[in-house]
């Protein structure tokens, strides 16, 4: 009896292994015509290793140099560094769909936000309710809010780091700029003061908790189905909760409180982003998730852009003096208005070059190929293949930017025909996505960058 059950168990095990092996071989064959590292064709462990290592952008740039504009990076995953192919995937009329990669950003296990919403129709419906609030048309205080938060940075630098008593005190400007963007987006999203810059401190351990969560995001980005396990009662305690006193959970708790004031009998109606969301039909729960998302989507990206651009400016005497000369020869208000800063050609060249040299949000963000297959970069793409961004590969491609593509040289934006410049702009703004899923906070981010760089200099 015992030997019969051992034989049955062994037969089942052999059959399972055989089925898995056949499945792997069939999956491998489906995309074997697309070049890429050989291990990546068989297992997502290749992706996981590089995502965990924090070097994925460099690895993907390298892969696009080696294998071309379309690279296989997983059994069913491709990334493209070809701007036309990416625009085709992301276009308004594209039949591609968000893949389960986006599920990693559903920080509330029950309620989707606009970024985690996978269903195309529901996403478009939600996006339509948010678009006016993000467009600044119903957000009268946005510029004042940016000005106020920049003033806090300048006050901190002058009082704590540049006063005569502390003349040689070293300053970690990258950290302060991160505090600044967290404070700013907090102010825009909730209309209250967080005070990271004021206190020169990560008050709710937001930066620390995002850093701790990064390996988890990397894991869920490669194996999204893991999120389903976290949503079960056994593991749900591991997800952020609005009762937490730090991190994303704390942000969710504040969102709940602040949004509650905008609903009910004594509700407050303001002309800010949240007010606009609610006027355009967001429910209380939806307003909570969207306000929380703003902090996640807006603070590290805009902070990252400042932390890229400013060191390039400060360590490059030609760029620094040219930018200062442009600022001092232009008649600008103090604080500078966004509309004035947008007209400064060298400043705009510096910002675009910063986006290009190190895209602030370089995720793969895969889309699923629609039924009936497609063709990208001359390759046949079968249905259900995942196609994602390879921005780092795109932004250092000599065919798009010239032989000195790896050099930070804002002047490249000031020479060339209007048609060439227009093409370069269209390509560099892919750092904000494109089409039906493009960044909703683009104008807010651009305004913050324009004003902050001018005021700090
Ligand atoms: C330099 C700064 C920023 C960069 C580079 C950036 C980049 C991006 C990218 C690439 C996407 C689209 C991803 C996709 O293909 O699905 C995106 C989406 C989004 N971003 Fe940004 N972002 C920035 C700042 C902001 C800010 C400041 C906010 C809010 C205050 C924000 C809010 C959003 C939202 C809500 C979405 C989701 C749009 C949708 O799903 O329809 N972003 N961002």
Q: What is the pLDDT of residue 350?
A: 98
297 lines ligand 1 (CB under 6 A): yes
The verdict on 60 and 200 lying in the same domain is yes
- 6 confidence band (pLDDT: 50, 70, 90): confident
The verdict on 4 and 80 lying in the same domain is no
Q: Whose CA is nearest to atom 7 of ligand 1?
A: 432
- Which of 98, 46, 146, 37 minimizes the C-alpha distance to 454? 146
Q: How far is the CA of 436 from the centre of ligand 1 (A)?
A: 12
- Average pLDDT over every residue of 98-116: 87
- Which of 358, 368, 363 minimizes the C-alpha distance to 389? 363
Q: How far is the CA of 435 from the centre of ligand 1 (A)?
A: 12
* pLDDT for 1 beyond 70: no
The verdict on 403 and 371 lying in the same domain is yes
ipTM of the complex: 0.99
- Average pLDDT over every residue of 398-410: 97
Alpha carbon distances (Å) from 348 to 18, 130, 344: 58, 27, 6
Q: Whose CA is nearest to atom 13 of ligand 1?
A: 433
Using the structure block, give the residue that is written with the tokens 């004031």: 261
Residues of each annotated binding site: 439
- 153 confidence band (pLDDT: 50, 70, 90): very high
- Average pLDDT over every residue of 317-346: 97
Give per-residue pLDDT as tens, 116-137: 998 999 999 999 999 999 987 8
Burial of 243 (0-12, 13-18, 19+ CB in 10 A): exposed
The verdict on 155 and 296 lying in the same domain is yes
What CATH code is carried by the domain that includes residue 296?
1.10.630.10
The verdict on 155 and 276 lying in the same domain is yes
* pLDDT for 248 beyond 70: yes
Q: H or E segment at 380?
A: strand 379-381
302 lines ligand 1 (CB under 6 A): yes
* Furthest CA-CA distance within the chain: 94
The verdict on 6 and 67 lying in the same domain is no
- Give the total number of structural domains in the chain: 2
Domain extent at residue 14 = 1-29
Judged by average pLDDT, the poorest of 209-218, 228-237, 439-448 is: 228-237
365 lines ligand 1 (CB under 6 A): yes
Tell me the backbone φ, ψ of residue 31, rounded to 5 degrees: -120, 20
The verdict on 188 and 286 lying in the same domain is yes
Nearest-angstrom CA–CA distance, 455 and 451: 6
- Average pLDDT over every residue of 240-268: 84
Q: Whose CA is nearest to atom 32 of ligand 1?
A: 441
The verdict on 20 and 48 lying in the same domain is no
The verdict on 319 and 451 lying in the same domain is yes
98 CA closest ligand 1 atom index? 16
Give the mutation target among 118, 439, 447 for probing the ligand 1 site: most ligand atoms within 8 A of CB.
439
Q: What is the pLDDT of residue 141?
A: 85
The verdict on 425 and 408 lying in the same domain is yes
- 2 confidence band (pLDDT: 50, 70, 90): low
350 lines ligand 1 (CB under 6 A): no
Give per-residue pLDDT as tens, 9-64: 888 888 888 888 888 888 888 999 999 999 999 999 999 999 888 889 999 999 99
- Mean pLDDT over each residue of the chain, to the nearest integer: 91
pTM of the model: 0.93
The verdict on 24 and 136 lying in the same domain is no
The verdict on 24 and 61 lying in the same domain is no
């Amino acid at each position: 009896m015992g030997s019969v059950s051992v034989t049955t168990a062994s037969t089942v095990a052999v059959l399972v292994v055989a089925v898995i092996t056949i499945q792997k071989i069939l999956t491998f064959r489906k995309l074997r015509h697309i070049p890429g590292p050989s291990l990546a064709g068989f297992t997502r462990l290749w992706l996981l290793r590089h995502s965990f290592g924090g070097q994925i952008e460099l690895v993907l740039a390298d892969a696009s140099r080696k294998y071309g504009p379309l690279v296989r990076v997983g059994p069913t995953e491709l990334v493209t560094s070809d701007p036309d192919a990416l625009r085709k995937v992301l276009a308004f009329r594209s039949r591609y769909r968000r893949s389960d990669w986006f599920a990693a950003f559903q920080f509330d296990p029950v309620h989707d936000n606009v970024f985690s919403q996978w269903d195309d129709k529901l996403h478009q419906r939600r996006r339509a309710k948010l678009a006016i609030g993000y467009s600044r048309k119903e957000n009268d205080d946005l510029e004042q809010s940016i000005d106020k938060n920049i003033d806090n940075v300048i006050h901190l630098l002058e009082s704590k780091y540049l006063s005569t008593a502390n003349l040689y005190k070293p300053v970690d400007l990258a950290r302060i700029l991160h505090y600044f963007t967290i404070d700013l987006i907090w102010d825009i999203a909730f209309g209250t003061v967080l005070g990271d810059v004021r206190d020169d401190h990560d008050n709710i351990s937001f930066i620390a908790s995002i850093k701790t969560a990064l390996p988890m995001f990397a894991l869920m980005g490669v194996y999204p189905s893991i999120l389903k396990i976290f949503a079960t009662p056994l593991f749900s305690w591991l997800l952020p909760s609005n009762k937490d006193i730090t991190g994303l959970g704390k942000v969710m708790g504040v969102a709940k409180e602040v949004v509650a004031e905008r609903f009910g009998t004594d509700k407050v109606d303001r002309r800010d982003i949240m007010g606009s969301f609610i006027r355009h039909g967001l429910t209380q729960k939806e307003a909570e998730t969207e306000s929380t998302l703003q902090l996640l989507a807006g603070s590290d990206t805009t902070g990252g852009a400042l932390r890229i651009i400013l060191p390039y400016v400060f360590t490059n005497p030609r760029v620094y003096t040219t930018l200062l000369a442009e600022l001092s020869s232009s008649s600008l208000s103090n604080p500078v208005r966004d509309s004035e800063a947008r007209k400064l050609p060298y400043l705009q060249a510096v910002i675009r070059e910063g986006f290009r040299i190190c895209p602030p949000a370089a995720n793969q963000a895969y889309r699923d190929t629609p039924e009936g297959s497609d063709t990208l970069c001359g390759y046949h793409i079968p249905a259900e293949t995942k196609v994602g961004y390879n921005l780092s590969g795109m932004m250092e491609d000599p065919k798009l930017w010239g032989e000195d593509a790896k050099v930070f040289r804002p002047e490249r934006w000031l020479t060339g025909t209007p048609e060439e410049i227009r093409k370069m702009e269209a390509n560099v703004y892919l750092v904000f996505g494109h089409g039906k899923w493009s960044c909703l906070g683009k104008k807010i981010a651009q305004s913050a960058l324009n004003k902050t760089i001018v005021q700090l200099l």
